[in-house]
Amino acid sequence: MDGFSPTTEEFHQRPQTASEKTLAVLEAALLNTRFSDIVVAAQLPKSTVHRILAMLKTSGFITGDAERGFRAGPRFTRLAGRTLTELDVVALAEPIIADLAASTQCTVHLGEPGDEEVAYLFGAESQRPYRVRSRAGGSAWLHTTGLGKAVLAHRTIDEVQNYAERTGLPARTDATLTAIEELIAELEHIAERGYALDLEEHEVGTVCVSAAIFNHRGEPAYSLSISSLVVAHPDDTIEKFAPRTVAAAAEISELLGAMR
């Protein structure tokens, strides 16, 4: 926050302009279908909410009624769809990744998972003379990387088993998880704590901590990792960056429209 934007509580405590009331009702109507719930969420009198909803319906931003429920109207969905298709995840994430690389003095990657591999979309290297080089433009098996495991952890057991059957869980190093039982157990652990570790599983001498990035539908569409050399972060000490990794992934998720 920049210190000038009001919190939700402050927003409703101070007198609101007509524009702010309209935005409050629009947001409430997009998140709730029942009129009573919209009134509670907007924290405005019923008559005010009713009047603003009528205006939003006329303009096409909201559709429905109190009996059938309210939902996003054609004008809103058209604008939202255009905005979402024009989102450039690299452009959105780049300043966050650059700040993270500078503050941790580690290499930070943004990945996009597919069915079997994760593509390295962008990377920011640390300024240390000895560092993990950016892998931007490359790809790797999902189960061998933190970027991939962070997303695999959100797939069903059947989906993970199908992935294992298709790929055969090939090993990159002696530390790579190549047994389906071990992989599933690790993915369950990742889902519980909210981040993944890669302890020399993809490349001997490198470690990383990763977290999933969610889109506006709540899907794990991308992932973020902080990588370092084992000589700088031996054993599992890279895990100290887990809170920063999770926070940065959540920030990018929010920019993509994900709900907190």
**pTM as predicted:** 0.72
Confidence of residue 82 (pLDDT cuts 50, 70, 90): low
pLDDT in the model for residue 86: 56
Tens of pLDDT, residues 165-177: 999 999 999 999 9
User: Considering only CA atoms, which of 40, 116, 109, 65 is closest in space to residue 248?
Assistant: 109
Per-residue pLDDT tens for 38-51?
A: 999 999 999 999 99
Q: What is the widest separation between alpha-carbon atoms in the chain?
A: 67
Please tell me the class of the 8-83 domain: mainly alpha
CATH superfamily for domain 89-255: GAF domain (3.30.450.40)
Domain limits of the chain?
8-83, 89-255
Residue 9: phi and psi, rounded to 5, are: -65, -45
**How far, in Å, are 90, 100, 102, 106, 126 from residue 129 at the CA level?**
25, 18, 14, 11, 8
